Amino acid sequence: MSNHQSGCSCSSCDAISISKAEKDLHVTISENSRREFLKRSSRLGMGLGIGGGMIGLPTAASALENEESAYKENAMANNKAVQNGKATKITLLHTADIHSQLLTHDEFFMENGKSVFKKRGGFATLKSMINTLRNQNRSNTLVIDGGDCFQGSGVASMTQGQAIVPLMNNIGYDIMLPGNWEVVYGKEMMMKDMFAYDGVKVCANMYHNTKDDLNGDLIFPPYFIKHIAGIKIGFIGYNDPLTPKRQSPAYSEGIRFAQPELNVAKYIKILKEYEKCEMVFLLTHLGLAQQVGLANLSEVKGVDYILGADTHERVRTPIEAKHTKVTEPGAFGSFISRMDIVVENGVLKDHVYQLLDVDPSIYKEDEEMKRLVDTARAPFKKELDRVIGKTKTPLMRYYVIETPMDNFITDAIMWKFKPDIALSNGFRFCPPLIPDTNTGEANITMDFLWNMLPVNSEAKRGTITGKQLWDWMEKELQNAFAKDPAKRFGGWVVRFKGMKVNFTIGNENGKRVNSIMIGDAPIDMQKEYTFVACERDGDPDTTICRVDNVKAPTRLGFTLHSVIEEYLKTNSPIAPTLEGRCIATDAPNTLLTQLMGVGYEFR
């Protein structure tokens, strides 16, 4: 736990000027003050449409006989205060990056250096597990989601996220953070979806950027405070400030993002000095490297944990940084992080953290949720279940440098348009698809295609010089591996076909690329090359896949979905593998994380 508890006196906090309105802010955001908060929101610069208030208790699932196998309390069971019955326990259950994965799916693990696949997740299993864990400590459990929830599947895309909201409400989340993909349907739809959640919303760095009287106001409350088990705990929310660059720029129109370090110390001071919170958590959607970078900044002194999200990392032991600890709970509804905090007579005594699998062999699917999922899928079921091809090899996206899934996508682009180079963004969403052990094949459905490419963008062609291509590749590698975590974009290395790149992660910015081959020849800096990638809404016409100043930009009249379908009609079954299209001299082609040197391992 952080050494920086209530009664904060650090110099960074003392230097902060807090207005009287901000000193009073804790009163208006505290639980059970929703009505008063809304009345005063305009004076405090908070904007309209702010949700809040505590939700009712969700329907309890029946406890499973073998639930103890899902969570063993380890050190918590040995705590003397727990043993003698004098202590109260607070439980935090945290999910993130669910990406609208409604059904149980294949999930990837590394065990003893080998790839292993198991069935995990699904909303019906997730609800059953959350209810089981919540029932172990019902009055003192909070359920939290860290964002990227209503994007990533066909049902989500076809309903602009609306079909996912009732499912999350049925689980009964208490606190919700918007993620970088929450903007995918535009600002207005983001607000409608987020405000339809029953849980409290928090985000301290997303502002209205408009020409009306909302301009400059926060879109969501910056923090939430809960009086629980005899103490107060506070949660401050932050979304990725690089969202307008990572996503198509049009998605974030009307929103201004700010760096967390600009106001986090102010809010920590409010929570510690005025609310007298015994614990303060940052609920963030920044990516693991950026979250560890933030945890090393003096502005976050007083924070006990950063509950992170975005890079789909599975933090099984909290990462110790200079000023606080960082966790992240995996993705796709396959995992829940659980933190138990022991409180005795209003004093914090202990806490234990674990990352738990959402395992359908342990938790029986919740019948009510199964019906809700079936209802959400029903209008689209025939189309989503349509088989468009087969694969003989696993389609997966977990590798940072090159993935079979994106080799498949760029293979299709190259086959259809025959440019010199085919490009695909370094997306992370989409669970794996694993061939059946009996048939040796797996069906690729339209549902899976939507998982791979939730935004059905149009293909676009352009021409650039070898020098432009080289410089762009350096920029993309900087986005993925910048030594300053705040400069990392999120997302993995861009994917491609038609060229081979050799690079060194550890080199300085602008000096990572060692060589590029276009076809069978070394790159010619003066020569012009054609490439095809997807269009991004809001980019200048001469920008394609973050490549600027492209000559002869041309929309090709085909969406990527149509290209994939056409490719599979001719080439199915496919069998994409790692081919060495992109090679790092100082990392394996199966690299699973951007974050190295802190003792973290993805598994």
Q: What is the pLDDT of residues 477-528, one digit of tens each?
A: 999 999 887 788 767 999 999 999 999 999 999 999 999 999 999 999 999 9
418-434 pLDDT, tens digit each = 999 999 988 888 999 99
Q: Cα-flanking dihedrals φ and ψ of residue 531, to 5°?
A: -145, 155
- Cα dihedral value 380, 383, 387, 391, nearest 10: -60
Q: What pLDDT does 239 receive?
A: 98
Count of Cβ atoms closer than 10 Å to residue 57 Cβ: 10
Q: What pLDDT does 598 receive?
A: 84
- Average pLDDT over every residue of 556-580: 98
142-194 pLDDT, tens digit each = 999 999 999 999 999 999 999 999 999 999 999 999 999 999 999 999 999 99
75 band by pLDDT with thresholds 50, 70 and 90: low
Pairing of strands 88-95, 141-145: parallel
41-59 pLDDT, tens digit each = 433 333 333 233 332 233 3
Specify whether domain 386-584 bears CATH 3.40.50.1980. Answer: no
With a cut of 50, say whether residue 284 has pLDDT above it.
yes
Q: What pLDDT does 282 receive?
A: 98
190-246 pLDDT, tens digit each = 999 999 999 999 999 999 999 999 999 999 999 999 999 989 999 999 999 999 988
Which contiguous run of DSSP H or E holds residue 361? none
| Type of residue at 427 | F
Q: What pLDDT does 48 receive?
A: 31
Phi-psi region at 122: left, alpha or beta (left = phi > 0; alpha = psi -120 to 50): left
3 band by pLDDT with thresholds 50, 70 and 90: very low
- Average pLDDT over every residue of 294-322: 96
Q: What pLDDT does 120 receive?
A: 98
- Average pLDDT over every residue of 448-472: 97
What is the value of pTM for the model shown?
0.88
CA distance 136 to 458: 49
560-569 pLDDT, tens digit each = 999 999 999 9
Count of Cβ atoms closer than 10 Å to residue 527 Cβ: 14
- Average pLDDT over every residue of 13-17: 46
Q: What pLDDT does 66 receive?
A: 40
E-strand stretches of 410-494:
421-424, 442-445, 458-465
With a cut of 60, say whether residue 439 has pLDDT above it.
yes
Cα-based distances in Å from 260 to 143, 205, 304, 349, 535: 23, 7, 16, 29, 30
With a cut of 60, say whether residue 8 has pLDDT above it.
no
CA distance 248 to 535: 9
- My answer on whether omega of the bond before 329 falls inside 30° of 0, hence cis, is no
316-360 pLDDT, tens digit each = 999 999 999 999 999 999 999 999 999 888 788 888 999 999 999
Cβ(447)–Cβ(453) under 8 Å?
no
Average pLDDT, the chain: 88
Q: What pLDDT does 489 receive?
A: 76
Q: Cα-flanking dihedrals φ and ψ of residue 352, to 5°?
A: -135, 140
Cα angle 119-125-126, degrees, rounded to a multiple of 5: 105
Q: What pLDDT does 12 receive?
A: 40
20 band by pLDDT with thresholds 50, 70 and 90: low
With a cut of 70, say whether residue 10 has pLDDT above it.
no
Domain with CATH 3.90.780.10 in the chain: 386-584
Domain with CATH 3.60.21.10 in the chain: 11-56+79-373
- What is the CATH architecture of 11-56+79-373? 4-Layer Sandwich (3.60)
Q: What pLDDT does 432 receive?
A: 97
Q: Cα-flanking dihedrals φ and ψ of residue 189, to 5°?
A: -70, -35
- Average pLDDT over every residue of 374-385: 98
Burial of 177 (0-12, 13-18, 19+ CB in 10 A): buried
